[in-house]
DNA sequence: AGGTTTTTTGCAACTAGTTGCATAAACCGT
DNA sequence: ACGGTTTATGCAACTAGTTGCAAAAAACCT
């Protein structure tokens, strides 16, 4: 039950239309909470119905029918409540690890190529994160907000680094398990 | 679409009843692909209907009686196909990182305690993994199967280690962001 | 023997996320 | 002005996972 809270956070950072939100979910926010535009529009409707957000009166004669939303006090209160409330970590699911385990039984045929591909994807993601870090968190900016946001980004960077390294090790000593048909 | 493959893998490692599977999903397999017993029974039914597994003839089934399943050749083939097929990584979602980002906007009140709690949970998980490593992967066992399984376990160990460290850093320099009501 | 509790199996309803497609307006080249 | 593309919004159906509950056999106690 976190998509509404992701949206509230995004809207507090900057009031936006559905499409703007979609774009922001494709970059920064979506790195740890992804969402499609369909999900976003559905959720915007709910949040508005609940009185957590409202459509901004169209200030400028913007292109199209862009409808921007802003967070109402009730929405901010709900977000604060949710942020402070304890939450258990969700059980994780990792298809790649599962496939390795399956490969131990049915053979490693075809795996290596996909491991390489995944490593490449992680490398790209890492490069993107590092780009953002360089751009948005220059040394010396130590406002509380920036520190928190940087902390989150660093988690992303270190996780990608971990996966690249782990995949490299895996590829180095990937044993050949014969298919057993 | 991976639960059936997780179950096939588990059943190939060792034919089991629904309850046995449930237990094994609570420990080893569930560490990277969790499932409830309801999910497992539902999926067992599907897999049987598709001819991927069958109930072992040993004990004839009635309600409340253990029914063990084994994988049929079609099931093994499907698992091999799935293992070798390229798959894109799923977008990840991490509520804790999202909460940090929200906290940058609505304040860090109440967060610290939960960060500590999460760190404790990760420490316990790490201890469990290390226990398993000591028990199941003594140095010197270098069969191909063991190497693959160890690789997967090491990913778990290193991820838990990462989170403990990251949470420690986060707690050390968690800035105080005042609530902004 | 009779009742309670635990084990094992499973259905049904709900929630969250994904996929496919629809609509309308704006903008763009000819 | 016309037709094609892009922008912006959204509905509906589907898939996967979660939660709540319960029936049937077995085990456990008086």
CATH of B3-84, one of 3.40.30.10, 3.40.50.720, 1.10.1780.10, 1.10.10.10: 1.10.10.10
Mean pLDDT of A33-55: 94
Contacts of A83 in chain B (CB under 8 A): 99, 102-103, 106-107, 110-111
CA to C1' distance (Å), from B99 to C15: 21
**Token code pair at residue A68:** 């921007």
* Helical H segments across chain A, by residue range: 3-13, 18-26, 37-49, 73-84, 95-106, 111-136, 144-172
Residue A16, nucleotide of least CA–C1' distance:
D8
pLDDT-based confidence at residue B140 (cuts at 50, 70, 90): confident
Contacts of A85 in chain B (CB under 8 A): 110
> Is B155 at the interface with chain A, CB within 8 A?
yes
> Is B19 at the interface with chain A, CB within 8 A?
no
Q: What is the rounded distance in angstroms from the CA atom of residue B97 to the CA atom of residue A153? A: 9
- Show contacts of A81-85: CB within 8 Å, 24+ apart: A82/A2, A82/A5, A82/B99, A82/B102, A83/A5, A83/B99, A83/B102, A83/B103, A83/B106, A83/B107, A83/B110, A83/B111, A84/B109, A84/B110, A84/B111, A85/B110
pLDDT-based confidence at residue A62 (cuts at 50, 70, 90): very low
| Ramachandran bin of B78, using left for φ above 0, alpha for ψ from -120 to 50, beta for the remaining angles | alpha
* Average pLDDT value for chain B: 89
Q: How far is CA B147 from CA A110, A133, B13, B38, B136, in A?
A: 18, 37, 15, 32, 11
Contact A44, A11 (CB under 8 A): no
SS3 B170: helix
Q: What is the 3-state secondary structure (H, E, C) of B105-141?
A: HHCCCCHHHHHHHHHHHHHHHHHHHHHHHHHHCCCCC
Nearest to A98 among B6, B98, B154 (CB): B6
How high is the pLDDT of residue B62?
41
Q: What is the rounded distance in angstroms from the CA atom of residue A87 to the CA atom of residue A125? A: 28
Q: Which chain C nucleotides are covered by protein, judged by CB under 7 A? A: 7-12, 15-21, 25-27
Mean pLDDT of B141-164: 91
Q: Do B89 and A118 touch (CB under 8 A)?
A: yes
Contacts of A121 in chain B (CB under 8 A): 88-89
> Is B41 at the interface with chain A, CB within 8 A?
no
Contact A78, A8 (CB under 8 A): yes
Q: Which of residues 43-62 of B touch A (CB under 8 A)?
A: none
Q: Where are the domains of chain A?
A: 3-84, 95-172
The residue of chain B with its CA nearest to that of A111 is B84
* Average pLDDT value for chain A: 89
Each residue's pLDDT tens digit, A105-146: 999 988 999 999 999 999 999 999 999 999 999 888 778 888
- Cβ contacts of B110 within 8 Å, gap of 6 or more: A83, A84, A85
pLDDT-based confidence at residue B59 (cuts at 50, 70, 90): very low
Q: Do B91 and A30 touch (CB under 8 A)?
A: yes
How high is the pLDDT of residue A6?
97
Each residue's pLDDT tens digit, A166-181: 999 999 878 666 666 5
């Amino acid at each position: 039950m976190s998509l509404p809270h992701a949206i509230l956070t995004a809207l507090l950072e900057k009031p936006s239309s559905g499409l703007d939100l979609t774009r922001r979910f494709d970059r920064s926010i979506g790195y740890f909470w992804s969402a499609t535009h369909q999900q976003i529009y559905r959720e915007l409707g709910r949040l508005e119905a609940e009185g957590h957000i409202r459509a901004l009166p169209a200030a400028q004669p913007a292109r199209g029918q862009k409808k921007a939303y802003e967070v109402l006090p009730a929405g901010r209160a709900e977000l604060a409540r949710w942020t402070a409330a304890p939450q258990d970590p969700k059980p994780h699911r990792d298809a790649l690890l599962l496939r390795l385990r399956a490969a131990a039984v049915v053979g490693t045929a075809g795996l290596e190529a996909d491991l390489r591909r995944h490593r490449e994807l992680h490398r790209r993601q890492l490069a993107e994160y590092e780009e953002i870090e360089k751009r948005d968190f220059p040394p010396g900016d130590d406002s509380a907000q920036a520190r928190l946001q940087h902390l989150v980004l660093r988690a992303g960077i270190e996780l990608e680094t971990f996966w690249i390294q782990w995949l490299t090790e895996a590829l180095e000593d990937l044993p050949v398990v014969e298919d057993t048909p």
